[in-house]
């Protein structure tokens, strides 16, 4: 059975690129904002892994991650944060908020696929 991946990325080119690459291994659902992703989950989407861009319009990826991890229904879902930020402080904040992993942009698509597979093997 294919795993469900929720990709929350505001950049259309990156969202399309990642969706195309990841859809060879996973069932990929996308959202442009944290608010859109939240609505999708509240209306029935059950992702096995969530990939969150750190910089999103409206609610930031970090704010949404904190919100997810404080909700018992969604807290168990592993979240991988994507970011162009090289700040150690950003990585630490994300990990403290509950991120399972942090991937720095630019990244190799295979690396991201392997990190997702790793989270699936841990959390299934």
Predicted structure pTM score = 0.95
Q: Where are the domains of the chain?
A: 4-123
The average confidence (pLDDT) of the chain is 95
Q: Which two tokens stand for residue 112?
A: 């991201």
Euclidean distance between CA atoms 102 and 71, whole angstroms: 21
Mean pLDDT of 83-101: 95
* pLDDT above 70: percentage of residues in the chain: 98
User: Which of 58, 3, 2, 1 lies closest to 31 in space, CA to CA?
Assistant: 58
What was the pLDDT predicted at 7?
98
Question: Which tens digits make up the pLDDT trace of 35-57?
Answer: 999 999 999 999 999 999 999 99
Give the other-Cβ count within 10 Å of 96's Cβ. 12
Domain spanning 4-123: CATH 3.40.50.2300 = yes
């Amino acid at each position: 059975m294919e795993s469900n991946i929720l990709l929350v990325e505001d950049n259309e080119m990156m969202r399309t690129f990642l969706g195309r690459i990841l859809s060879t291994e996973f069932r990929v659902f996308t959202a442009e904002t944290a608010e859109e992703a939240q609505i999708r989950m509240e209306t029935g989407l059950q992702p096995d892994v969530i990939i969150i861009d750190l910089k999103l319009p409206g609610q930031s990826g970090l704010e949404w991650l904190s919100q997810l991890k404080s909700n018992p229904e969604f807290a168990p879902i592993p979240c991988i944060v994507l970011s162009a930020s090289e700040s150690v402080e950003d990585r630490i904040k994300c990990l403290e908020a509950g991120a399972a992993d942090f991937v720095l942009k630019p990244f190799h698509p295979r690396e991201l696929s392997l990190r997702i597979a790793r989270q699936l093997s841990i959390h299934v």
